[in-house]
C-alpha cells in the first residue's frame, strides 16, 4: 500500500475553486501536466475536517482570525477531493505536484503554475491543496473519505470526474479576482453618491476613469478619494482609499467598512467580504501590480 502513495497524490480543490467554477478546468490542467485523477468526491468540508487536515498548524501557529476566514471559505459551498496518479516515469510525484501547484502565496507564484494561472487570490483563497508526501496523502485522503479502493480505471474515471465537475459548476460562477472585487465595491460607492456630486467633480471622475472597471487598480483609491474630497464624509473617503492589503490592517477593519457602507444603503456580498478581509491578512495577487493579465 505504501507503493500506491508513491505514485498517487491527494489533491483538494477548495470551496473557492468550485464557487468560481474552476474545478473542471483544473482537472483538465492536471491531466495535461501528467496527473490523471482516478478518484474524486464532492463534499461539504465541515470545520471538523479542516481541523483534522491542519491539526499540526492549528496547534502551533493558527490564530482566531484564521479560523474565521477558513470558516467563511467553507461557507461558499462544497469542495472537491481527488486522488491523482502521477504518469511520469521518474521524479517524486508529490514534489512534481507542488511545483505544478505553485507557491502558497499567489503573489509569489510563477506563471505556468495553477495558482498563478487560475487566479488564486491569496493564501486563504488559494484554490488548491496537495499533500506533501506519501504519509500525508494516505492520511489526508482518508479524512475526506477517499482511498485506493475508490480508484477507477482511467477511462471511466475521466468520464465520471468530468461529468461530476459539470454537474457541480455553478450556473453563475464568481469570476472576479481581487482587483475585480475592489473595482465593483468602489463603483457601487461612486454610483450611490453620484447625484450628490457637483458637475465639475463628476466631469473630473469621468475624465480620470473613463473605464469604471479600472477602479480596482493599484493606487486608484487615493486618486478617487482626492477627486471626491470635500464631497463625501471622511470615513467613506478612507474606505475608498483603502487598498485592502496587509499594510492597511492597522488602519481599517472590515467591520468598520461594512458599517460605513450600511449607512449609505450599500453592502458587501459574501465573496467581496471574504476577498477583502482575507487580503488584509495575506497579500493578494493583483494583475494591476504586475501589469499582466491572468491567462484564465
Q: Bigger pLDDT: 38 or 73?
A: 38
Q: How many CA atoms lie within 13 A of 233 on its CB side?
A: 8
pLDDT in tens, 112-157: 999 999 999 999 999 999 999 999 999 999 988 999 999 999 899 9
DSSP H or E segment with residue 163: helix 154-167
Q: Where are the domains of the chain?
A: 2-167, 178-290
pLDDT of residue 295: 47
DSSP H or E segment with residue 80: strand 79-86
pLDDT of residue 89: 78
Q: Scanning the structure block, which residue is given the C-alpha cell 450556473?
A: 171
Provide φ and ψ at 124, rounded to 5°.
-85, -40
pTM, two decimal places? 0.90
- Give which of 204, 257, 211 is closest to 229, Cα–Cα: 204
Which residues make beta-bridge pairs with 12? Answer: 81, 129
CA–CA separation, 294 and 292 (whole Å): 7
Q: Is 44 helix (H, G, I), strand (E, B) or coil?
A: coil
Q: With DSSP H G I counted as helix, E B as strand and the rest as coil, what are the percentages for the chain, rounded to 5?
A: 55, 10, 35
pLDDT of residue 296: 45
CA–CA separation, 26 and 100 (whole Å): 11
Q: Scanning the structure block, which residue is given the C-alpha cell 474606505?
A: 239
Q: Are strands 35-43 and 8-13 parallel, antiparallel or unpaired?
A: unpaired
pLDDT in tens, 48-63: 666 666 666 555 555 5
Q: Across the chain, what does the average pLDDT equal?
A: 90
Q: What is the DSSP string of 204-262?
A: HHHHH-SSGGGGGSTTHHHHHHHHHTTTS-HHHHHHHH---SGGGTTT--HHHHHHHHH
Residue 51: all three cell numbers together: 481541523
CATH class of 2-167: alpha beta
Amino acid at each position: 500500500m505504501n507503493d500506491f502513495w508513491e505514485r498517487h497524490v491527494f489533491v483538494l480543490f477548495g470551496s473557492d475553486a468550485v464557487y468560481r467554477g474552476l474545478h473542471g478546468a483544473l482537472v483538465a490542467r492536471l491531466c495535461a501536466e501528467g496527473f490523471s485523477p482516478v478518484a474524486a468526491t464532492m463534499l461539504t468540508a465541515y470545520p471538523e475536517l479542516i481541523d483534522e487536515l491542519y491539526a499540526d498548524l492549528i496547534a502551533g501557529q493558527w490564530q482566531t482570525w484564521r479560523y474565521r476566514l477558513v470558516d467563511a471559505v467553507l461557507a461558499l459551498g462544497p469542495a472537491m477531493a481527488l486522488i491523482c496518479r502521477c504518469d511520469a516515469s521518474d521524479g517524486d510525484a508529490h514534489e512534481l505536484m507542488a511545483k505544478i501547484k505553485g507557491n502558497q502565496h499567489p503573489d509569489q507564484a510563477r506563471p505556468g503554475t495553477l495558482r498563478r494561472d487560475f487566479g488564486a487570490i491569496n493564501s486563504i483563497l488559494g484554490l488548491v491543496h496537495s499533500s506533501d508526501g506519501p504519509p500525508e496523502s494516505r492520511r489526508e485522503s482518508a479524512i475526506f473519505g477517499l482511498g485506493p479502493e475508490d480508484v477507477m480505471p482511467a477511462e471511466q474515471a475521466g468520464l465520471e470526474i468530468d461529468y461530476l465537475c459539470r454537474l457541480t459548476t455553478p450556473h453563475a460562477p464568481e469570476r472576479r479576482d481581487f482587483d475585480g472585487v475592489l473595482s465593483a465595491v468602489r463603483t457601487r460607492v461612486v454610483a450611490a453618491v453620484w447625484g450628490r456630486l457637483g458637475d465639475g467633480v463628476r466631469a473630473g471622475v469621468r475624465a480620470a476613469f473613463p473605464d469604471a472597471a479600472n477602479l480596482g487598480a493599484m493606487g486608484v483609491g487615493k486618486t478617487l478619494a482626492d477627486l471626491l474630497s470635500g464631497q463625501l464624509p471622511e470615513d467613506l473617503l478612507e474606505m475608498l482609499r483603502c487598498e485592502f492589503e496587509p499594510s492597511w490592517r492597522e488602519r481599517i477593519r472590515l467591520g468598520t467598512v461594512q458599517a460605513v457602507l450600511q449607512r449609505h444603503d450599500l453592502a458587501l456580498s459574501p465573496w467581496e467580504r471574504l476577498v477583502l478581509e482575507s487580503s488584509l491578512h495575506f497579500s493578494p495577487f493583483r494583475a494591476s501590480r504586475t501589469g499582466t493579465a491572468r491567462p484564465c
